Chain A
Amino acid sequence: MVRNILMSGVLLALFGVVGAGLVAFVFQGTADRIAANEEAVMLSSLHAILQHEAYDNNILEDAIPLSNELLGGTDLMAYRAYQGDEPVAVVFTVIAPGGYSGPIRLLVGVEEYGEVAGVRVVAHRETPGLGDDIEVQRSDWILDFDGRSLASPAYNQWAVRRDGGVFDQFTGATITARAVVTAVRDTLVYFEAHRDTVFMRATADEEESPLE
């Protein structure tokens, strides 16, 4: 009886070890490729916002972590683009908390002087057919932000038409449009207040690191 229990236990443990071994092996084999894939996806969405002739640094490595209420949460990133040492633009990862079904993750590009370089939706769970017009594949709506700034339109005009603003809303999905407009506006507010810290380059000892 005891022998049986022991046998079963050992057998079960053996299968556990073999299973974990298989997963570890596959993980080792694919980790680099997965990291490269994720980087490529990120880079291609950054390129959709910033023309890559406009800057000459490695935008993925020139990134700083950020956390701020205006950007919608913690563990966000700012990808900074420079031409030489001159700041060109920055792309924030932003979370719009007010989506119809959960937060909407955005990339908001802001040029050096506070104009929107471009906005793209990274992930959302809005209603298909109604709220998903925020995707650039489905409609041009999101391109309406290009070139806007806090000066044009004025702060209180940064809203959908129903709320007295200048941005179109979608029939049946006002909440989605409102959430995105608000998130972009707040990103610009954040940028205006923190422009210098956002563009501040890494500390000297990091830059002089021999490993490059």
Chain B
Amino acid sequence: MSDITYREINANGFWHNNPGLVQLLGLCPLLAISGTVINALGLGLATTLTLVASNVTVSLIRHWVRPEIRIPVFVLIIASVVTAIELAMNAFFHELYLILGIFIPLIVTNCAIIGRAEAFASKQPIPKALADGLAMGLGFTCVLVALGALREVVGHGTLLSDAHLMFGEAARGFSLTLIREYRGFLLALLPPGAFIALGLLIALKNIIDSGLAKRAAVRAPQPAEAAG
């Protein structure tokens, strides 16, 4: 574990150990805020920022913190970081902040963050902790955005609506209306739709994984034969 490579860190964050699809951590924001792509992206990036900041800080202090008080210290760090991010979002992305609302402070309760602090950052040097925070955070963001896109298209018939909340006025034109005069599909917008969509994404990942495993199993004997 101590000599994990950056390649492995990335593969873990985005695929093998993805917080959204495999660890199933942080489901509360994942399901609640993934109604549209922009909301999902906003929360995903805020979570990524938190993960990076908390991972780096935890790694920085890993030699001083005694094991018996490490968990409260991690919680303190994460809570401070999230509060600071919340204030900054309120100041600089006010309209997005109004939409994400309660889910920004709730990043504190995203178990993926304290999970990475405890399982990874507290045992690794700073650059690797940073890479892990980035990979896990962006992996989580990808799942959130995929879920957001799925629900937005099925639920509203649009994609990237309200993009100006995040990218400024110039981005108003980013919004795509895929289906005109669409009356909306309520199920996709409500929490059950989020669960169903997440289930579909996990199923898709498992199908891909088993396909890869089969291919690997077919290919694996060959080099063995060649060697023998």
Contacts and interface: CB of A to CB of B under 8 A. Distances in A.
Q: Do A and B bind each other?
A: yes
Interface stretch (A13-21, A82-90, A143-151, A198-206): A13-21
A128 B151 CA distance: 13
A48 interface: no
A26 B88 contact: yes
A19 B87 contact: no
A164 interface: no
Nearest to B84: A26
Contacts of A7: 66
B80 A23 contact: yes
A8 B76 contact: no
B73 interface: yes
B189 interface: yes
Interface residues of B, number: 28
B184 interface: yes
Interface string A188-203: 0000000000000000
A4 B35 CA distance: 49
A63 B65 CA distance: 52
Interface of B: 35, 64-66, 68-69, 72-73, 76-77, 79-81, 83-84, 87-88, 90-92, 94-95, 98, 155, 184, 186, 189-190
B91 A128 contact: no
A33 B79 contact: no
A27 interface: yes
A47 to B, nearest CB: 16
A128 to B, nearest CB: 4
A30 B35 CA distance: 29
Given A11-B65, A12-B72, A16-B76, A37 B91 contact: yes
B186 A41 contact: no
A12 B73 contact: yes
B98 A41 contact: yes
A40 B64 CA distance: 46
Contact of B91 (A15, A20, A33): A33
Contact-residue bracket for chain A: 20 to 34
Contacts of A4: 66
A24 to B, nearest CB: 10
A33 B97 CA distance: 13
8 contacts: A11-B65, A23-B80, A23-B83, A30-B91, A34-B87, A128-B155, A128-B190, A129-B155
A74 to B, nearest CB: 22
Interface in A67-85: none
A34 B186 contact: no
Interface in A20-47: 20, 22-23, 26-27, 30, 33-34, 37-38, 40-41
Contacts of A26: 83-84, 87-88
Given A12-B76, A26-B84, 9 more contacts: A8-B69, A11-B64, A11-B73, A20-B80, A23-B83, A34-B87, A34-B90, A41-B94, A129-B155
A129 B69 contact: no
B69 A11 contact: yes
B186 A129 contact: yes
Contact of A129 (B64, B87, B92, B189): B189
Contacts of A33: 91-92
Contacts of B80: 18-20, 22-23
Contacts of B155: 128-129
Interface in A102-141: 127-130
Nearest to B83: A23
Interface string A40-71: 11000000000000000000000000000000
Contacts of B79: 19
